Amino acid sequence: MYRKGYRDSQEAHQGLSRYSPFCNQQRGHQSLGHLTPAAVYFGRKEYDREELALRR
């Protein structure tokens, strides 16, 4: 996530509300073996926890 200068708290909330679903449901994370947090949390994809630990 990058720092951005928002005009007010409403604009910040709107911007973060758009980014959060992307980050959790579409963007793969290196520490999760390039899976999304949602895929790992909800078990949609199989992954090996030991293998992920070695990648960190």
Number of folded domains in the chain? 1
The token duo for 19 is 């980014």
Contact 12, 24 (CB under 8 A): no
Q: How far apart are CA 27 and CA 37, in angstroms?
A: 8
pLDDT given for residue 34 in this prediction: 85
pLDDT given for residue 47 in this prediction: 61
Instruction: List per-block mean pLDDT (blocks of 10 residues) for the chain, which spans 56 residues.
Output: 80 89 87 85 67 59
pLDDT given for residue 19 in this prediction: 85
pLDDT given for residue 11 in this prediction: 92
Would residue 52 count as lying in a domain?
A: yes
Would residue 54 count as lying in a domain?
A: yes
pLDDT given for residue 45 in this prediction: 55
Would residue 42 count as lying in a domain?
A: yes
**Taken in order 16, 19, 23, 25, is the CA torsion positive or negative?**
positive
Would residue 48 count as lying in a domain?
A: yes
Would residue 47 count as lying in a domain?
A: yes
Q: Find the domain containing 41 and state its range.
A: 32-56
